Amino acid sequence: MIEPFHNLFKARLAPRQIRRDSNFEEIGLKLKMEISSIFGRSLAIREVDSGSDNATEIECNNLSTPYYDIERFGVSFVASPKHADILLVTGAVTLNMEMAVLKTYEVMPFPKLVIAVGDDACDGGIFKSTYAVRGGVDKILPVDIKIPGNPPTPTAIINGFLALMEQLRNQPRKS
Amino acid sequence: MDNEKKIPANLLLNKICQDYFTRAEPNEFYLPVSEEAFAELIPQLPKFETLLISLFCVENFAGSTGFTLFYVLEKRRAQNFVILLRRLNGNEASSIAEYFPSAGWFEREIRDGFGIEFTNSVDKRRLFLHEGYPHDFHPLLKSFKNRDITENRKSMSGAGKYLFKEVKGSGVYQILVGPVHAGIIEPGHFHFSVIGETIFNLEVRLFYKHRGLEKLAEGKTPAEAIIVAETISGDESAANTVAYCLAVEKIAQGSVPERAGYLRTILLEMERIYSHLGDLAGMNVDIAFPVGASDFFVLREEILRFNETLTGSRFLKGLICPGGLKRDIDSRDLFKLYSYLDSFLRRLRRAADYVLHNESVIDRLDTTGVIKKELVQPLNITGPAARASGVGIDNRIDHPYGIYPFFELAIRTQEKGDVHSRFDVKLSEIQDSVEIIQKSVSALKSGSVLDPISLKDGYGLAVVESARGQNLHWVYIKNGLIERYKVRTASFCNWQSIEHAVIGNIVPDFPLINKSLNLSYAGTDL
């Protein structure tokens, strides 16, 4: 039975909780600085699942949960590829998803970057040369960085973002 | 076998319902049926509370040539399974979707895989082969050797257009969503026909993630194929791997050491806990109540971290193998888990209290996305979705496996079948799982965790209760290699319930209903 005045009379402040991972924080702060210098303020990522087992999606979702909260570092997952700087693809590319991934990439504004997350996305993994799968993401799109793992942990994923920023900083700027 | 073919249908029915299903020694019974007896038998079966839980095809089964269809039947409150074997002459068969609606998708799946035509079926569209696949391509035929089929292709579209069921009329409009969605979700296409804001009809099109897992397993040794079972659905990997191992162990007549049995149970229940926690959080996110969600997210992250401590993988991969476990789990870590779970329960109850004392939350959850009880049997809906609609089924109790018979398990049911009921069922099940884990840790004795199995040829069925419901694995080993591996996860059947659950609801409630059912795309698409 729901007590109607429950929330009125009982203060329901959440206790202050500190659950931060020092390693993750360190990478996050570095990433924030890189993003500020390369992208201005923020980095917009569009995630597309091209055929993963859903564990990689769960880890990407975890980046936005209280333990990690990646938006603090200027990274946001956006709803439309038209708003995105980066296309994050998880899973080996299945024949059934090939067209959808290509179309998503096409509508992104330039300059566009691609990250492959997970073992299967990197090179096709156990699905290499089977009938249902084209292979890794690099078979159909130019991939800028690969983050291996089955699935990669949230820390591994954010580390991959940082590596991509460093790669961008070191490469000559295209006109 | 030939003698049984001559048995008339009414005797066969008696034999199935009064002998095979009720026999005390738990088993699966394979029953070859003649075409005439089959035609007579099928219309009578649904009257005896018999469900079709899977239907699949095997080519050149047990020395025969041609196709054999396997109709896997379950009866409520009966421990055994009866599998009707229907040998086909050629590649045509009659459809049984009229009597068992759950057969609809199974038959389309077989048609794609093997090219078998179901003569009187109403839906002859392809299922897992989308437009990109050429005509007359049937990957599960033995004559097709697994290879990249895109090398010499001329265009990206092979077969014709996929037609959706569309409701037309004044004021009706269509909303097309997917396969790429707005959030971080798996791909699937939803075709809504909407009047105002109310959903009038929904058609789901899945299989965008079809990775060809069943074909991939063929020709591998049983040890090599573990990775295929693990990758069926990432957040169901323990349940699927255990089911696969149970089937292989059954064929090899092997056993699992007691310690491994308990450890497997701990892993299975850890999986149920983090999966359900994700749903409770997700339901809060989908009603725009992130404050309520964050407590559940925090708890789930802590469980995932324990998974990593116990197994080295946050998703419990790489430990379970036929015969037990690949390596032992440190008892000190298990004791840490035991004491953590006490505070976990307190925090879970506090988080749930906070959410369920919020009027606007209840307003969104109550009466939303109702699955009627009558749908559960014909569509073979299982797991929390069935229990929330008042059907008390749980494979851990109905078809016990592992060490579950040692526990007194409760079945948590709710009557209303709405999102709120599913929230409540999942919440209680997390608490039950905590109890099972704590009891298992207390009962653990030291000992070996692996009893290597000696491989034999043969076939076997294993059914487990994953977080989503009933997962069924059928393995057929020939010459020491996997000849056929059939997987049917709970999501495959449960997906069809969503088309009914959303009718009359508003479009913004669709994500909430979807989340409350927690359907795996990967586990369905295979």
Q: Dump pLDDT digits (tens) for B414-449.
A: 999 999 999 999 999 999 999 999 999 998 888 888
The pLDDT of B295-321, averaged and rounded, is: 92
The pLDDT of B26-41, averaged and rounded, is: 84
CA A94 to chain CA mean position, Å: 19
Average pLDDT, chain B: 89
CA B408 to chain CA mean position, Å: 24
Q: What is the pLDDT of residues A9-59, one digit of tens each?
A: 666 665 566 677 888 889 999 999 989 888 888 899 999 999 888 999 999
Q: Which residues of A touch B358 (CB under 8 A)?
A: 7
> Measured between CB atoms, which of A54, A80, A133 is closest to B234?
A54
**Pick among A89, A131, A139 to test the B interface (most B CBs inside 10 A):** A131
CATH H-level superfamily of B213-446+453-517: Cytochrome-c3 Hydrogenase, chain B (1.10.645.10)
The 3 state secondary structure assigned to B256-284 is CCHHHHHHHHHHHHHHHHHHHHHHHHHHH
Mapped onto helix, strand or coil, the DSSP state of residue A55 is helix
Contact B20, B80 (CB under 8 A): yes
The pLDDT of B144-155, averaged and rounded, is: 79
Q: What is the pLDDT of residues B313-328, one digit of tens each?
A: 999 999 999 988 999 9
What the block records as the tokens of B466 is 């994953």
CA B250 to chain CA mean position, Å: 20
CATH H-level superfamily of B9-155: NADH:ubiquinone oxidoreductase Nqo5 subunit (3.30.460.80)
The answer, yes or no, to whether residue B1 has pLDDT greater than 60, is no
Residues of chain B with CATH 1.10.645.10: 213-446+453-517
The pLDDT of A78-84, averaged and rounded, is: 92
Residue with tokens 């209280």: A66
For residues A118 and A91, what is the distance between their CA atoms, to the nearest angstrom? 6
Contact B424, B451 (CB under 8 A): no
Please tell me the number of Cα atoms within 13 Å of A155 on its side-chain side. 12
For residues B298 and B320, what is the distance between their CA atoms, to the nearest angstrom? 27
For residues B409 and B397, what is the distance between their CA atoms, to the nearest angstrom? 7
Q: What is the pLDDT of residues A106-117, one digit of tens each?
A: 999 988 999 999
Paired residues of B202 in beta bridges = B192
What residues 127-146 of chain A have any CB closer than 8 A to a CB of chain B?
Answer: 127, 129-135
Contact B502, B198 (CB under 8 A): no
For residues B422 and A104, what is the distance between their CA atoms, to the nearest angstrom? 34
A11 min Cα distance to partner chain B (Å): 11
Q: Give A167's contacts (C-beta < 8 A, 6+ positions apart).
A: A144, A145
Q: Which residues of B touch A96 (CB under 8 A)?
A: 128, 130, 132, 207-210, 525
Mapped onto helix, strand or coil, the DSSP state of residue B514 is helix
- State the sign of the Cα–Cα–Cα–Cα dihedral B277, B279, B282, B286: negative
Residues of chain B with CATH 3.30.460.80: 9-155
Please tell me the number of Cα atoms within 13 Å of A102 on its side-chain side. 10
Widest pairwise Cα distance in chain A? 65
Q: What angle do CA B380, B386, B387 make, to 5 degrees?
A: 150
Phi and psi torsions of A138, nearest 5°: -70, -10
Parallel/antiparallel/unpaired status of strands A43-51 and A75-77: parallel
Q: Is the CB of A58 less than 8 angstroms away from the CB of B234? A: yes
> Measured between CB atoms, which of A94, A135, A153 is closest to B208?
A94
Paired residues of B25 in beta bridges = none
Q: Lowest-confidence range among B30-39, B138-147, B156-165, B197-206?
A: B156-165
Give the pLDDT band (50/70/90) at residue B156: low
Q: Give A25's contacts (C-beta < 8 A, 6+ positions apart).
A: none
For residues A151 and A90, what is the distance between their CA atoms, to the nearest angstrom? 10
A161 min Cα distance to partner chain B (Å): 17
Q: What is the pLDDT of residues B372-415, one digit of tens each?
A: 999 998 899 999 999 999 998 999 988 888 888 888 888 999 99
A99 min Cα distance to partner chain B (Å): 8
Alpha-helical (H) ranges within B88-145 are 103-114
Q: Is the CB of B210 less than 8 angstroms away from the CB of A54? A: no
The pLDDT of B496-505, averaged and rounded, is: 91
Residue type for position B295? D
What the block records as the tokens of B377 is 């049997």
Residue A107 sits at the chain B interface (C-beta within 8 Å)? no
pTM comes to: 0.91
DSSP classification of residue B506: B
What the block records as the tokens of B20 is 């095979």
- pLDDT for B2: 43
- pLDDT for B90: 86
A94 min Cα distance to partner chain B (Å): 6
Q: What angle do CA A149, A90, A108 make, to 5 degrees?
A: 135
**Pick among A8, A54, A107 to test the B interface (most B CBs inside 10 A):** A54
> Measured between CB atoms, which of A3, A47, A131 is closest to B139?
A131
The pLDDT of B229-258, averaged and rounded, is: 91
Residue A167 sits at the chain B interface (C-beta within 8 Å)? no
- pLDDT for B3: 46
Examine residue B179 and say whether the peptide bond preceding it is cis (omega within 30 degrees of 0).
yes
- pLDDT for B183: 85
Phi-psi region of B469 (alpha: psi -120 to 50; beta: other; left: phi over 0): left
What the block records as the tokens of A80 is 């439309």
